Structure 1
Amino acid sequence: MKKYFTLLSILMLCVAATLQAQNGGVKGTITDQANDVLIGANVSIKGTTTGTTSDTDGNFTLSPIDNGTYTLLISYIGYEEIEKSVTISGAIVDIGTITLNPSLLFLSNQIVVSGSRRAEKLTETPATIQVISSKQIEELPSFNPGELLSRVKGVEYVRSGVAATGVNIRGFNSNFNAKNLQINDGRYATLIATGLPFGPLGTIIKEDVDRIEVILGPNAALYGPNAHNGLVNTITKDPRSSEGTTFALGAGNQSMVTARLRHAQKINDKWAFKVTGEYTKGEEFEFADSVYIDRLDANGNPGPDGVKEGYEELELDNDFNFMRGSAALYYSLNDDADIIASWGGSNSTYLAPTNVGRNQIVDWKINYYSLKYASTHFFAQAYMTTSKTDDTYAIDERTKQYYRGIDAGLSDAEARGEQSYSSAAKFKDASQRYNAEVQYNNEVGNFSYAVGAQWQRDLANSKGTYLLDTDENDYIQIDQTGVYGQAEYKFGSGFKGTAAFRGDNHEIYGFNFVPKLGIVKTVKDGAFRLTYGQGIAAPTILNMYGNLFGGLILGNSDGFTLADGTKVEKQGVEKIQSYEIGYKGQASKKLFVDANAYYNISEDFLSPVTVVGVTTERGSVPTSQVQAAYGIYGGLVATYVNFGQVNTYGFDLGLNYQLAKHVTMNFNYSYFNYSVDEDNLEENDFNKDGVVNKLDVLVNAPKNKFGIGINYSDGKFFGNIFTRWVEEYDYFSSYQIAAKTQDLTYRGTPVVENSRSTDTYNYGPLGGFVNVDLGLGYHINDTFTMSGQITNLFDAEFREFTASPFIGRLYSVELKINLGKK
């Protein structure tokens, strides 16, 4: 018996020793230089897949770990990676607080979420993702973080004024471009009726932006059906890792003044909140677009030879102002689950370019209300978005109607009054959108997956002004549902495979399935990737139910019948297939390389508004019952259709090099081109002139562009100088034209530079400029920072977009007051 007891004791001691060896681990806290905790920082054992992330207090625990000596890799996006040796001996080892320093290079250990809706290394995501870090945003002396998109490779950036900026990706831009999906903290940030990105209507202030992730091409299938050309994902700060109060005061030329406030506070281990606010105002560059009008003489007859005369826009208001703010309340159910309630709103007045001149945006209000649940494996959210304006109007159409009133014998006051809006020049909006989403993700060994479902209900209401609704109680309701899934498997030897899908069912344009496949090979400090993906661009509510200028422009949700009996099919989705190969990683300790090449096949383009001819029916309804101004137009309709197939291809190259301890250089270059079957007149001859050329394809993008910048940051001083070159290119978008003189006719008028086109003035091609921006700043102490910038340093005169002014020099200064933690 004693013998057995001795053996049992020895066995128990062995088991205890084994359990002790397996129950060791390591814990610690991760912060930045300002002693703010870093949430979601990565901690892993070098050479293995074992790892964890820091929690809302910056704390982490990695266990169980067998006894031994290991090297920990600790990393966070925008910060330098740290290696720390630790010895485990049957207990949890506390390594204390680890402080990460900001990185001047875009290191290969950066973590992103936009590629697969889960955290992964930037180099290992099967998509081309560009990141604008919190450090870049913090050191930008401007109220508009969108300006930094001009420094991102592969992005076609345009500035249409002092405050308005826009982006496109890989061609086919227009003055009404809804093909780039904009997301803010997982919410769609697009207008309900037009599908356009919020842009200046946004609710987020610069001080609350943690980072911006940009996906090039249709590789964001998990986010939504309209991530066609790309995705811009803005992620805001968590108040638990960014406590404190920040004031920002700025001023500049064009009478620009801005004031911004952010306060974030962790109340206790369960509760935290943040509030933000901004007021910015200024004056747009002096510019009046030409409006061409058929005038009548004193006897009521058309002018000589029916020639249109050009006039400046009526009562042009160059002042702009923006008010925006937000509030969010965070509640931690436990260490792994949060409930977040948030609101954001804005009120904006500014000038906006469109396909038919400029719109005067007047007091356009955006609001969202969101409730979100997030845990290790589950994510759910529900949110409502509202859009409201009562006084926005189309300047071009109002100007035309004013002169028509004058020709009809009205006084100036009468012509400027309601008469000037009588052809539906005024746009009202009282639309709503409801969204809900649920997602589950998990990881089992080398296999990880995510599945989710989304629901959306659009309730569009224009109060009978620009949609086919009738009054403020008549909503155009459209429902759509989507399901998505993604699976990843690590095969070993550095290989990872990804398969994803998205299926969407839309009430009007039906069901669409979008797949994605990718493989990533990780090598030392980098990775190669090969990806195949599909995407769609869906018609917007305006495309389907538009009703502009007395029914001259009608939406195409039901098709049309022409006077000769020809059928015009209802508009469907635009489709794209994309093949992409790329590499991203550190080629050396001081050099980071990001390169990709792609080939796209696009078909069934969503056309700009185009005249289809005299119609007799819209769907099964006579045109005379739909077109309010049938007595004037007689059934002549402009609408939106699908057409053509075009292949596009190109490559992007980005380099970041550390020149010295505090100095880096970044360089980016992009090439873009296309091919089209010029013999396929049936599909590709969009304007039906018997030949396929650039007026059918409407690529609207430069072939070549590059940027080069030098950045300095030493903890006290910071500064950068950035030079951008964009090759000259022709641009055509409905009424808008910007092109060199050539043997072409656009909308019935020869294409001649610096002369009148059919509906607007052709100032010549876009691009063809070199722009230099300079920024400087100084951290006076932990509380005060002074900075300033000059955009277009040498005051070069150039025009980046149609229906927009020539961009002159802009300069601004900013004082930031950071009161730190509370």
Structure 2
Amino acid sequence: MKCILRMLCLLVIILPASRQISGAQTQHVITGTVVNSSNSQGLPGVSVSVKGAATGAVTNSSGEFRVTTTRSLPLTLIFSYVGFSSQEVTVTDAGQAVNVQLVSTEILGQEVVVSASRVAESILQSPVSIEKLDTRAIKSTPAPTFYDAMANMKGVEMSTQSLTFKSVNTRGFNSNGNTRMLQLIDGMDNQAPGLNFSVGNIVGITELDMDNVEILPGAASALYGPNALNGIVLLNSKSPFQYEGLSANIKTGLLNESGRSSATTGYYDVSVRYAKAFNNKFAFKVNLGYIKADDWQAYDKRDQSLLNGRNLKTGDRSNPGYNGVNIYGDETNVNMYGSLRPVATTPGPGNALGNGIAQFAAQAGLPAATIFSAFMPDSANTFVSRTGYDERDLADYDTKNLKANVALHYRIQGNLEAIAQGSYGTGTTVYTGADRYSIKNFRMGQYKLELRSDNFYVRLYTTQERSGDSYAVGTLGSGINEAWKPSTTWFQQYFGTYAGAAFPAFVTAFQQARAGGQSPQQAFGTASAAIKGNAAGYHDAARKAADQGRLLPGTPEFDAAANKVKDKPIPGDLATGIGAKFMDKTNLYQAEFMYNFKNQIDFMELMVGGNYRVYALNSEKTIFALDDNGKEFRINEYGGYVQVGKKLLEDNLKLSAALRYDKNENFEGQFSPRVSAVYTFLKTQNLRASYQTGFRIPHTQDQYIDLLTPQARLLGGLPFLRERYGLDKSPVFTLESVQAGAPKQYTFREFKPEKIIAFELGYKGLIAGKLLIDAYVYSNTFKNFNGSQVLVKPLASGGREIYSIPVNYEKDLKSWGWALGLDYSLPANFVAGGNVSFNKLRDEDELGSFQAMYNTPRYRYNIYVGNRNIANSNFGFNVTWRWQEAFIWSSSFVGPAVRVSNQGEIPAYGTLDAQVSKLFPKPRITVKIGGANITQNTYVQSWGNPTVGMQLYAAIGYNL
């Protein structure tokens, strides 16, 4: 409440000042209409700007516009719309309507962008790299949704975890639920505040209401604050003043991939939008969208345990320590040698194995330990894991997504507008993190109050997450196993069966060899070789014995056990039962403002802004650590920025600089400067250079998680958590060194926010109005890079505890890359083009055991050809080919062993997308038929994720 009151006080200060200044200058209101020259129909969404100023407007659904400006007459209005030739009109009388006809063409480089500088500017003159997807591009894309279409942008890559859950990334360090990319929907951060993943478009804007998407690759913290480390995605919806009426779209089709339970299944996508404006004063809009499908499935059964001398190529279910990539419950493993040795070498009451070995050892004249080693494989080859379950038997693949949005807009006076907006989404999908997570009946709401004009805004919003019936799939597999038979019992039966068969067989083989005339030493070697040669048979028999009566998918007993684990809050325990259900109800609250002094200062640009943010953690005491009063924490952050800009050399050179300061209560304050220069020559040729910085405050789980999983206890990186578990006093060792047989003690360092220092040089130019070239080269230096470290804490009892903790890499991480995009306007409105990008992590071989998780192919490219209106027939088409090379993936899902052994490869793949469309102008109906990956080149985009196949669709839309 304090932050809200502060922002309201700020409003009281800003508004009178703004009105006073406005009153001191003469205001002109210019109105008019923009139509398509070919059919005289009004053109909605045309950008109308005042030349030399940031003032402007956008035409409504009838092509009408209204511009309010304090510029003196005469002035020049610039009319621009993608796919139409721009026009400039001189206005000498504000009382006379301005009527303009735009001519359709495929002239490139006309887009106006806002995100690069927080002011409207030509995309050609943006000071940093920027990609934009507007309404026309959305309608013509062959991708099934506008969110999928972002993968065709230069330097942009996707990680598909399910049909409706995809993460966007640029310039390396890709991850599932990427927290280094900031995603804003109408200015609101839509990262789940507790579970820490950007929810893609599960909660967001329907395709009918999507006005444009702007992506800034690279650091953007100077203007957008924490977490805009690798880039920012801004999704902006349509204004009900500019886009009125009823729109609807029905899309249906099929998904096909041969490895799924059912290779071919249906896909359904329906959306409706209605907007209405009254007297250009009050307007509202309502949006509904619903998607339903059987999801892509993850079924990689390769053995990623790397135990018993196996690897991804040689490992399979014959490995006693098998841990399949998409098999769950088999993560629990025990070393049989280490577990049986004390029993085998210590005779006593009730210890049949130990007594038997001691008796035989006395007869053979050898130590009991030697006898034990003779029939038991060595300790490096006796890891045994429990039998797991396939993901398809545990995850909910019944994907569905419902989105609803309501917005009320009221124009108080002039350009001053008040907005009340609410967005709500719910659905079921699958997400990949340290585990695979079934996000079932997940709900998230975003609610906003905003007051804005052409020179300022004040925004209050909240993001509220409700995990519903979501659960961890891997934990569910382990929980079912434990519910049926505790691991202590299961392993005891396994080891007992193995030893109970192997030892008597060894004795028999020894005696037969002795009877055949061999010496005791020869007989010992013969018997040992025979037993170890049949180890696989003993393992098979042991597993069958321990698995006798195991719960099988599809049976009532299995379903009852699964439901019990899914209904129990995570983590549960072995005594009362493992729980897999998330109970997160974390909320984010934010207040922010921006003020542009363009009405007060005309010799330069000056802008200020700031925000105050609160995370209210609430996992019902299951995921996050508790304070001394037994309550979950609240996290407070605040920040502010200033940006200045100046045009020189007859407006051909624009210099800008920004500085931001942010403070999180758990970390020191962070300064984020940015300096850029854009030089324009020959009107359409632009060179740019920029120095940018960014930072990422560790997300809520990296700060406060305290969760026991079947594999390890996950701890946040804050010092008090290390102290709580004694990691600051007792020696702890890296898991990698323990597995290598040379334990190395780990020393903790201060846990800090990540930083990035980025340099970029770029060129964007339009040649002869036909060829658009966009190229850049960048260099990034990351400091305090956040990765994960798995630690082993030995116990006095002889056991050990495993911890996974976020830590900072002690050295700098450096990467670099470049990209080139070409778009060419061919005769008869045909367009063709493509882009290629390169990304490389420097000095990767020197990282050692640290998991940098770069997770990015060096090369990827896109090629396309299309025409939105072939020979004015209202037929259109687009064909896009996308390719990326193979690369190594590392993450907490894989585990450190796979990363170090360089085996977690994501294969190269290419996909072909295509669509054809037909517009029927009078009924305003559009029919579209298309498909993604129509050549059926199945692919996986990140480790443990589903295999993606072909998606075909047919759509019919009204008033698109």
TM-score bin, normalised by smaller chain? 0.7 to 0.9
Distance 1:701 1:153 in 2: 14
Equivalent residue number for residue 348 of structure 1: 427
CA distance in 2, matches of 1:678, 1:634: 31
What residue number does 2:12 align with?
none
How far the C-alpha of 1:293 sits from its partner, in A, is: 3.7
AA partner of residue 726 (structure 1): Q
Larger Rg: 2
Does structure 2 retain, via aligned residues, the 8 Å contact 1:126–1:520? yes
Asked if 1:111 corresponds to 2:272, the answer is: no
CA RMSD of aligned residues (A): 3.2
- Out of 408, 413, 416, the residue aligned to residue 329 of structure 1 is 408
Q: 1:610 to 1:77 in 2, by over 3 A?
A: farther
Deviations 1:44-88 (A, max 9, x none): 2xxxx3684237751236786677xx9x56233525343356585
| Aligned equivalents of 1:155, 1:77: Cα separation in 2 | 25
Whether the 8 Å contact between 1:144 and 1:163 is mirrored in structure 2 is no
Letter aligned with residue 558 of structure 1: P
Query: Which residue in 2 is equivalent to 1:9?
Result: none
Q: Deviations over 1:240-292 (max 9, x none)?
A: 11001011111111321111110011022310000000111000134432233
Alignment of 1:294-309 (within 5 A): 294=332, 305-308=382-385, 309=387
Residue 220 of structure 1, CA deviation: 4.8
Which among 727, 732, 740 is matched to residue 885 of structure 2? Answer: 727
1:384: Cα distance to partner? Answer: 1.4
Report how far residue 234 of structure 1 moved. Answer: 0.5
2:99 corresponds in structure 1 to 97
| Residue in 2 that maps onto 1:525 | 684
CA displacement at 1:40 relative to structure 2: 5.0
Cα gap change, 1:171/1:85 in structure 2, threshold over 3 Å: closer, same or farther?
closer
Q: Deviations over 1:722-745 (max 9, x none)?
A: 0011011111112327xxxxxxx8
Distance in 1, matches of 2:397 and 2:35, equals 43
Q: Distance in 2 between matches of 1:387 and 1:605?
A: 28
Describe the shift of the 1:317–1:101 C-alpha distance in structure 2 as closer, same or farther (beyond 3 A).
Answer: farther
Which of 542, 551, 555 lines up with 2:701 in the alignment? 542
Residue 617 of structure 2: aligned partner? 460
State TM-score, norm by structure 2: 0.72
Contact kept? 1:562, 1:568, Cα under 8 Å:
no
Q: CA deviation at 1:774?
A: 0.6
Q: Which residue of 1 aligns with 2:714?
A: 553
The aligned amino acid for 2:704 is Y
- SS of corresponding position for 1:201: coil
CA distance in 1 between counterparts of 2:335 and 2:840 reads 49
Residues 351 and 361, structure 1, Cα contact 8 Å, conserved in 2? yes
1:642 to 779, 802, 808: 808
In structure 2, C-alpha distance between the alignment counterparts of 1:301 and 1:209, rounded to whole Å: 60
Q: Which residue number corresponds to residue 769 of structure 2?
A: 589
> What is residue 801 of structure 1 aligned with on the other side?
942
**Matches for 1:372-391 after TM superposition, within 5 Å:** 372-391=450-469
Instruction: Give a deviation string over 1:175-230, Cα, whole Å, max 9, x none.
Output: 34200000111111111124321214323111111000000100352112110000
**In the alignment, what sits opposite 1:8?**
none
1:238 maps to which residue? 239
SS class of match (2:784): strand
Aligned to 2:418: 339
Q: Which amino acid aligns with 2:879?
A: I
Q: How far has the Cα of 1:521 moved from its partner?
A: 0.6
SS for the counterpart of 1:76 is: strand
Aligned-pair distance for 1:532?
Answer: 0.1
Matches within 5 A, 1:597-636: 597-607=777-787, 609-614=788-793, 635-636=801-802
**1:461–1:469 Cα contact (<8 Å) kept:** no
Question: Which residue number in structure 1 is paired with residue 857 of structure 2?
Answer: 702
Q: Which residue of 2 aligns with 1:498?
A: 656
**Does structure 2 conserve the Cα–Cα contact (< 8 Å) formed by 1:276 and 1:326?**
yes
Write out per-residue CA displacement over residues 703-723 of structure 1, whole angstroms, 9 at most, x where no aligned residue: 111100011111611210000
C-alpha distance 349-50 of structure 1, shift in aligned 2 (>3 A): closer
Offset, 1:776: 1.2
CA contact (8 A) 1:425 1:549 kept: no
Q: Match of 2:32?
A: 29
Q: Name the amino acid aligned to 1:569.
A: R
What residue in structure 1 maps to residue 274 of structure 2? Answer: 263
Please list the CA deviations of residues 543-576 of structure 1 after superposition, one character each: whole Å capped at 9, or x if unmatched: 0111223571111122631522865235211111
* Contact 1:456 1:480 (C-alpha < 8 Å) held by counterparts: yes
- Greater per-residue strand proportion: 1
* 2:930 is the alignment partner of 1:789: yes
CA–CA distance in structure 2, aligned partners of residues 600 and 179 of structure 1 = 14
Inter-partner Cα distance in structure 1 for 2:184 and 2:104: 26
1:42 matches 2:42: no
Query: For residues 279 and 569 of structure 1, what CA distance do their matches in structure 2 show?
Result: 48
Q: Say if 1:204 and 1:471 are closer, same or farther in 2 by CA, change over 3 A.
A: farther
* Alpha-carbon distance change, 297 to 212 in structure 1, aligned in 2, over 3 angstroms: closer
The aligned counterpart of 1:370 is 448
Cα deviation, residue 445, structure 1: 2.4
More displaced 10-residue stretch of structure 1: 227-236 or 491-500: 491-500
CA deviation profile, 1:588-629 (whole Å, cap 9, x unmatched):
21111111111111121110x43123289xxxxxxxxxxxxx
Q: In the TM superposition, what is the alpha-carbon distance from 1:128 to its structure 2 partner?
A: 0.5
For 2:241, what is the secondary structure of its paired residue?
helix
Could you tell me how far apart the structure 1 residues matched to 2:465 and 2:617 are?
Answer: 9
| Contact kept in structure 1, 2:105 and 2:829, CA below 8 Å | no
Shift of 1:378: 2.2
Q: CA offset at residue 305 of structure 1?
A: 1.7
Report the Cα distance in structure 1 between the residues aligned to 2:167 and 2:404, rounded to whole angstroms: 21
> Alpha-carbon deviations, 1:287-339, whole Å to 9, x = none?
432233447999x9899822335541343322100011100000001122100
Cα distance in structure 2, aligned partners of 1:640 and 1:187: 27
Report the Cα distance in structure 2 between the residues aligned to 1:647 and 1:464, rounded to whole angstroms: 39
CA distance in 2, matches of 1:610, 1:569: 12
* 2:353 counterpart residue number: none
Task: Quote the residue 1:78 is aligned against.
Answer: 82
Q: CA deviation at 1:462?
A: 1.0
Aligned letter for 1:74? I
CA contact (8 A) 1:209 1:236 kept: yes
* Map 1:422-433 → 2, pairs under 5 A: 422=572, 423-433=578-588
In structure 2, the CA distance between the partners of 1:151 and 1:671, relative to structure 1 (3 Å rule), is: same
Any stretches of 5+ residues in structure 2 without a counterpart? Answer: 1-24, 255-264, 300-325, 341-375, 490-548, 552-556, 573-577, 723-727, 733-745
Partner letter of residue 776 of structure 1? V
Pick the structure with more helix per residue: 2
Question: After the TM superposition, which residues 13-412 of structure 1 pair with which residues of structure 2 at under 5 Å, given as runs?
Answer: 27-31=30-34, 33=36, 34-38=41-45, 41-44=48-51, 49=52, 52-54=55-57, 58-60=65-67, 72=76, 74-76=78-80, 78-84=82-88, 86=90, 88=92, 91-92=93-94, 94=96, 96-100=98-102, 104-107=106-109, 109-140=110-141, 144-253=145-254, 254-288=265-299, 289-291=326-328, 292-294=330-332, 305-308=382-385, 309=387, 311-313=389-391, 314-356=393-435, 358-408=436-486, 412=551
**Identical counterparts, % of pairs:** 23
Letter in 2 for 1:654: G
What residue in structure 2 maps to residue 657 of structure 1?
Answer: 824
1:672 aligns with 839
TM-score, structure 1 length as denominator? 0.84
1:75 maps to amino acid: F
Q: Which digits, 9 at most, give the CA deviation of each residue in 1:445-494, with x for residues without a partner?
A: 23011101100011011112222249999442001000011000112231
Secondary structure of the residue aligned to 1:398 is helix
Offset from partner CA, 1:330-372 (integer Å, 9 cap, x none): 000112210011100000101112233x100011101111100
* Aligned residues between the structures: 742
Would you say the 8 A contact 1:724–1:772 is kept in 2?
Answer: yes
